[in-house]
């Protein structure tokens, strides 16, 4: 059996010859062997050594094997616990198995081959259990990460929704302000097409409509001047331009930012009869 990390088995018995027999039995196995001669000594060993399995005699002075295993279960629940016992103690051992204190028991005298095989299988089960726990923990961590991501996404969506609502409100408000300005405003694209007018333009009674070419209302010479403003980005004022039934001055303001070079805003002022 090969493992990424060595296993350690703690053998507990008050008889030194039994401990020696177990060490001889396991000397060819690929795991470390620790020994203790009593339950209290075993608990001290566990405090300072990583142990994966404990094999203990049942009948020992001061603390029985099942009493030791009950303490180990409470303090080190992952450790695999095996008891070596005589025929007369089977009922006690069965009760301990039912309570989960021990994994399995072997009757004395034990069968060497069976004990070695069972030890190998138990350690393999230990590894599988640890792997499953690690995978389960990883799943829990990933689920927690997904939950945090979802919470962050939900918070981000709410924040973006609020931003969009504010922008939409601001846009609607700006449209309303533009629409109700007392000064005629005309938006013109770089193709010299009228793309925006406000209410004051309609009141000029000049017949100006969205989607019409600006050249339908202004001379070609002035169209060239307006086109020059789009290209240069330098504002210009056209004086005494006839629109509708009156003559006006027109301020030409180029668009800026990401719309630079895409159009101009015409502000009609000082209308003269």
Do 16 and 123 lie in one domain? The reply is yes
CATH number at residue 12: 3.40.50.2300
Say if 1 falls within a structural domain. no
Do 113 and 186 lie in one domain? The reply is no
Task: Using pLDDT thresholds of 50, 70 and 90, give the confidence band for residue 189.
Answer: very high
Do 81 and 20 lie in one domain? The reply is yes
Q: Distance between CA atoms of 140 and 158, rounded to whole angstroms? A: 27
Say if 168 falls within a structural domain. no
Render pLDDT for 216-239 as a digit per residue (tens, 0 to 9). Answer: 998 999 999 999 999 999 999 998
Say if 167 falls within a structural domain. no
Torsions phi, psi of 194, nearest 5? -75, 120
Say if 109 falls within a structural domain. yes
Residue where a domain terminates, one of 136, 170, 193: 136
pTM for the whole thing? Answer: 0.52
Domain residue limits at 44: 7-136
Render pLDDT for 37-80 as a digit per residue (tens, 0 to 9). Answer: 999 999 999 999 999 999 999 989 889 998 999 999 999 998 99
Say if 268 falls within a structural domain. yes
**Residue 2, pLDDT score:** 42
- Sheet with 185-189: list strands edge to edge: 194-197, 185-189, 263-272, 246-254, 236-243
Say if 2 falls within a structural domain. no
Task: Using pLDDT thresholds of 50, 70 and 90, give the confidence band for residue 1.
Answer: very low
Do 71 and 186 lie in one domain? The reply is no
CATH number at residue 211: 3.30.450.20
Say if 141 falls within a structural domain. no
Q: Distance between CA atoms of 11 and 202, rounded to whole angstroms? A: 101
Say if 169 falls within a structural domain. no
Q: Distance between CA atoms of 211 and 205, rounded to whole angstroms? A: 17
The number of domains in the chain is: 2
The listed range with the strongest mean pLDDT (27-31, 142-146, 227-231) is 227-231
Do 198 and 252 lie in one domain? The reply is yes
Task: Using pLDDT thresholds of 50, 70 and 90, give the confidence band for residue 170.
Answer: confident
């Amino acid at each position: 059996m090969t493992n990424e990390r060595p296993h350690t088995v703690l053998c507990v018995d008050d008889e030194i010859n039994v401990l020696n027999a177990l060490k001889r039995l396991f000397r060819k196995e690929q795991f470390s062997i620790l020994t203790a001669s009593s339950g209290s000594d075993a608990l001290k060993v566990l405090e300072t050594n990583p142990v994966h399995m404990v094999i203990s005699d049942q009948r020992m002075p001061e603390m029985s094997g099942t009493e030791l295993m009950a303490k180990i279960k409470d303090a080190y629940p992952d450790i695999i616990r095996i008891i070596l016992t005589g025929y007369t103690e089977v009922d006690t051992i069965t009760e301990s198995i039912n309570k989960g204190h021990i994994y399995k028991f072997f009757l004395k005298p034990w069968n060497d081959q069976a004990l070695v095989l069972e030890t190998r299988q138990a350690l393999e089960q230990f590894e599988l259990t640890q792997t499953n726990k690690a995978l389960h923990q990883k799943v829990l961590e990933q689920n927690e990460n997904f939950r945090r991501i979802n919470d962050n996404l939900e918070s981000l969506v709410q924040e973006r929704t609020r931003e969009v609502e504010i922008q939409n409100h601001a846009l609607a408000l700006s449209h309303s302000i533009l629409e109700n300005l007392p000064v005629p405003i005309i938006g013109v694209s770089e193709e010299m097409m009228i793309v925006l007018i406000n209410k004051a333009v309609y009141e000029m009674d000049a017949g100006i409509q969205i989607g019409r070419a600006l050249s339908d209302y202004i001379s070609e010479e002035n169209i060239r001047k307006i086109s020059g403003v789009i290209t240069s980005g330098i504002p210009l004022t056209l004086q005494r331009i006839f629109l509708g039934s009156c003559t006006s001055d027109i301020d030409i303001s180029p668009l800026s930012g990401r719309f630079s070079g895409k159009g101009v805003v015409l502000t009609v002022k000082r209308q003269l009869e």
